[in-house]
Structure 1
């Protein structure tokens, strides 16, 4: 009988240990399952956030592309009108946008029409340096007009159109006059060109005499 009682005690003791071990393991399992469920919920929330952020990224990209295209068209139109005003109707300005290493880049082209033939060249290869000067001038004006940070300031030019031939320089002068009127901006310009200085409402002539700068008013006109 004693042997039987000892056996029963060992069995009961072992059973208690197993029950205790089971209880501990079950609690660990329940805790792990709860943690797993929390992680799954967190993962689902993160997936939703990632999906939302991706949609926002796509929206911003499309908005950026649209805004870039709008600015591109505005600049193309203004520069083309400038070129046509000065050189005639058979010339256009085009911008080609691309992305290189994740960064947007722009290439400028001049399109010249000769009857049914269209010739596309880089500005520096089109009809001499005068084209580059006029495009540079028009781009500066276009960027100023498209910018929201420089609303009412003057346009300051240093020797604009210095490579434009005498055949077209009078057109440049009249173009600048019209730009000032249309956009209601003062133009402050340094130039050696007589045509450009003569369009000014007020012009100053600076000469070096005996090592000193002598400034004289050489023209004064009322705004038309």
Structure 2
């Protein structure tokens, strides 16, 4: 009888120890579960925050791109209108291709008689291309962040522009230099553009030597 009671007590103690160990494991699992739940909550909160930040960056990027687009369109349009003395306009159309922004340039001629929208290279021969290229270089330098310092260096900037508009090109360059406080260094074969500069030098090749002489100095 005593042996049975002792065996029963031993089994009871073993069972109590087993239950105690299982309760300890349960408490550890509950604590671990709570820790994981807190970590999951933090991850969800962080993901939500990152999503809002991404949206903010996207909106900021879209706004900055829109502002830069408007500034560039405005400057190039004014340049074209000043030089060609018409209501010609320059526009940029941006579309998303494979998650990348793709920009297409167009020139618009809108008159009471017709409306024409073309690529710059298809409008008025090469003259419009020259002026669009020139105006884009100036606008990119002025709108780029961080700002681009130093002179604007041009090589035959209006080689396809007809003589009737060359004076306007020169005046545009002069005003741009003054407005943006930027020196312009230009290589040109056009005597009208050379005459409009503050300092001009003629470079002539004599055999294998280049002779440089001032054309005028104001």
TM-score for both structures, normalised by structure 1: 0.93
| Of 133, 139, 146, the match for 1:136 | 133
Partner deviation per Cα, 1:86-131 (whole Å, 9 max, x = no partner): 1123210001112222222211111111315321111111121111
Structure 1: segments with no counterpart, 5+ residues: none
Tell me if 1:51 matches 2:48: yes
The CA RMSD over aligned residues, in Å, is 1.4
What per-residue deviation string (whole Å, max 9, x for no partner) do you get for residues 188-218 of structure 1?
Answer: 0011111111111100000001221000001
The residue aligned with 2:204 is 207
CA distance in 2, matches of 1:120, 1:55: 39
Q: What's the CA shift for 1:7?
A: 2.0
Q: How does 1:50-89 map to 2 (within 5 A)?
A: 50-89=47-86
Structure 2: how far apart are the matches of 1:153 and 1:75? 20
Question: Which has the larger displacement, 91-100 or 71-80?
Answer: 91-100
| Separation of aligned partners in 1, 2:89 and 2:160 | 19
| Residues 21-74 of structure 1 deviation map (CA, whole Å, 9 limit, x = unaligned) | 100011001000100001101110111111111111111111111011001000
4+ residue runs over 3 A deviation: 148-152
Which structure 2 residues correspond to residues 1-224 of structure 1 after superposition, within 5 A? 4-115=1-112, 117-150=114-147, 152-221=149-218
Which runs of 5 or more structure 2 residues have no equivalent in the other structure?
A: none
SS in 2 for 1:99: strand
